[in-house]
Amino acid sequence: MKWNVIRIRTTNDVTDYLAGILFDLGFTGIEVTDTVQLSEQEKKAMFIDFLPEMDESDKTAVVTCYTEENVDPGQAISQIREELEEYRAFLNPDAVSFETGVTEDTDWINNWKQFFKSFAVDEDIYIKPTWEPMKEEFKDKLVIEIDPGTAFGTGSHETTRLAIANMKKYLKTGDRLLDIGTGSGILSVIGMKLGAGKAIGTDIDPIAVRVAGENAEVNGISVFEGAVSEVPDGSVAFYTGNMLDDEAFCVPFSEQKYPIVVANILADVIIPLAPVVRRFLLPGGVFVCSGIINLMEEKTKKALTDLGYEILNEERMNDWVSYAVRLPG
């Protein structure tokens, strides 16, 4: 199916008015592209390490909406212009311009799958999408099947590969593994395949928690649904919550204690998370942290060592670094 595209060129200060008008007219799919920099609060909420430089003098914005192919875009534009007149006291309707076009209907949710192919993480571990057949050359490797959906983590990104490398060095058979920011659950699944006794994952996104459970089941791992203290050996369990802001959520994990904790997130999350992780580690326990861009590595390392962590190992790939650090016993 084809769709008419209407692009409305305007300025940053009137995008909210335009979006409101479009919603009132029945447009449900609206895209706003502006030059407004994210606030520090928004940056933290979205877990962004650094922001691109933007031209503060550029006030232009584009609001995009769509109509079905059989709807006259000219008529839709006339309706929008009529509504804009009602706001003349707040904006200049004459300064708003329109462009039209046509786009094909696209399955945006699943289109990314064409780019996710089977690959070897290292000499031992092979990751394949659930929808791809097994390749003959990888049949003797440790095979992990993943369908991340909209959750983070296919294993192909440098940050995940580095976390896996460090986890392989320090995970011992039978260890309880805590995976903070589990995403697709890939580190928990690999941890279990490498011999962990049980793996417990957390994420702030309930969709990620659901996806992680599904990926564990695809790989033949039992998924437990119940209290953290009752997770049986040989199982994984995933929980929705925020380790940074929710003390009540943290308590059950503090009571368990883990020989190894992994977090593949971002430096701006790892830094405030590091003191929280101390509560979860056994004496001598190892914290594997990844997702650290090289611009943040010195700041992250200092935060870790200031808390008394000992740097055991660094793994690097391109612009990313992962640390394995130990809590002295």
pLDDT per residue as tens digits for the range 294-319:
889 999 999 999 999 999 999 999 88
pLDDT of residue 56: 60
Question: Span 264-280, mean pLDDT?
Answer: 94
> Does the domain formed by 111-326 have CATH 3.40.50.150?
yes
Residue 188 per-residue DSSP state? H
Phi-psi region at 318: left, alpha or beta (left = phi > 0; alpha = psi -120 to 50): left
pLDDT per residue as tens digits for the range 240-255:
999 999 999 999 999 9
pLDDT per residue as tens digits for the range 187-200:
999 999 999 999 99
Domain locations along the chain: 2-104, 111-326
DSSP 17-42: HHHHHHHHTT---EEEE--PPPPHHH
Question: Rounded to whole angstroms, how far apart are CA atoms 13 and 17?
Answer: 9
Which pLDDT band holds residue 42 (cuts at 50, 70, 90)? very low
Q: Is the full-model pTM beyond 0.75?
A: no
Which pLDDT band holds residue 51 (cuts at 50, 70, 90)? very low
pLDDT per residue as tens digits for the range 119-176:
778 888 888 888 878 778 777 888 888 876 655 566 668 899 999 999 999 999 999 9
Q: Which of 25, 20, 14 is nearest to 62 (CA)?
A: 14
> Does the domain formed by 2-104 have CATH 3.40.50.150?
no
